[in-house]
Amino acid sequence: MDIDQNTPIARFENVGLRYGLGPEVLQDVTFELKPGSYHFLVGPSGAGKSSLLKLMYLAHRPSRGLVHLFGHDIATAARDALPALRRSIGVVFQEYRLLEHLSTFDNVALPLRVAGIRESDIKRHVEELLVWVGLKDHMSARPPTLSGGQKQRASIARAVIARPSLLMADEPTGNVDDRMGYRLMHLFEELNKLGTTIVVATHNEAMVRELGHPVMRLGAGTLHVSPGTKTDSFARTSPQGLERGLPHRLTRGPGAFE
């Protein structure tokens, strides 16, 4: 999808969300995500972080207010326009959502197959990314045989393989060790430099302070956005020997294949 740099990736205006007849879990949420921005989404458990992400990746519709994605009003967008919007969004789910009957390779390849990419390209790029995230020896394994950290890495690989315009991650480093956590956050940092808009939901306040991106803070269903305090501390504290290069697929524009 071609992105107009003058149009917000996402724009919420006075959005409220309730489930059934219950109280609102989100109240009058208003914000914009500019193309190429990077935000952390923080708040205590039950504050509504996952609900806000679900609105952004079109799993839910708001109870009230306006939601625009890629310049489209979701309330009035044609039904046949929604699949293209969803293909521009990558999601790292906290509960992984890998298909248990598919191998690690086939789970990660799924977005490319849906997009109609040639199998020869799929094989090369999926294998390269799985090696990069440390799953070289688990490409044929099915999710029930993987550890939580391995499932998390497979979920992240699936979310980024198609170079989405908007990437959302719900606690992406919660089940990996510190070294792999730094490696995955480096992946997000580099994707952001290449133009991907990123939102990371996390409880890791130390990481939020270290990376210094703007913060969307939820509390009792309301949202406050604060500016970032970007420093170079992430580069200084990354483990020695961390490979800086990205998989070839991810250095190319969204949808670009030879």
Summarised one tens digit per residue, pLDDT across range 108-132 is: 999 999 989 999 999 999 999 999 8
**pLDDT-derived band of residue 140, with 50, 70 and 90 as boundaries?**
very high
Q: Is 50 left (phi over 0), alpha (psi -120 to 50) or beta?
A: alpha
Q: Is the CATH number of domain 10-46+55-91+164-251 3.30.70.1060?
A: no
Q: In what order do the strands lie in the sheet with 72-73?
A: 24-33, 10-18, 64-69, 72-73
The DSSP bridge partners found for residue 90 are 167
Burial (CB < 10 A; 0-12, 13-18, 19+), residue 130, is buried
**pLDDT-derived band of residue 230, with 50, 70 and 90 as boundaries?**
low
Is a pLDDT exceeding 50 seen at residue 224?
yes
Nearest to 202 by CA among 190, 191, 213, 187: 213
**pLDDT-derived band of residue 241, with 50, 70 and 90 as boundaries?**
very low
Alpha-carbon distance values, 1 to 70, 76, 191, 257 (Å): 9, 19, 16, 15
The DSSP bridge partners found for residue 168 are 91, 199
Report residue 61 as tokens. 């519709």
pLDDT of residue 83: 86
The DSSP call for residue 48 is S
Is a pLDDT exceeding 50 seen at residue 255?
no
> Using an 8 Å Cβ cutoff, are 160 and 252 in contact?
no
**pLDDT-derived band of residue 258, with 50, 70 and 90 as boundaries?**
very low
> Using an 8 Å Cβ cutoff, are 154 and 109 in contact?
no
Burial (CB < 10 A; 0-12, 13-18, 19+), residue 36, is middle
For the ranges 7-16, 175-184, 202-211, which has the lowest average pLDDT? 175-184
Domain borders along the chain are 10-46+55-91+164-251
**Pairwise CA distance, residues 139 & 174, whole Å:** 22
**pLDDT-derived band of residue 186, with 50, 70 and 90 as boundaries?**
confident
pLDDT of residue 240: 44
Residue-wise pLDDT tens digits, 65-92 = 999 999 999 988 888 888 889 889 999 9
pLDDT of residue 97: 93
> Using an 8 Å Cβ cutoff, are 140 and 103 in contact?
yes
Nearest to 41 by CA among 188, 226, 191, 175: 226
Question: How many CA atoms, within 13 angstroms, populate the side-chain half-sphere of residue 13?
Answer: 8
For the ranges 22-31, 180-189, 217-226, which has the lowest average pLDDT? 180-189
Kindly report the number of other CB atoms within 10 A of residue 172's CB atom.
26
The DSSP bridge partners found for residue 65 are none
pTM of the predicted structure, to 2 decimals? 0.86
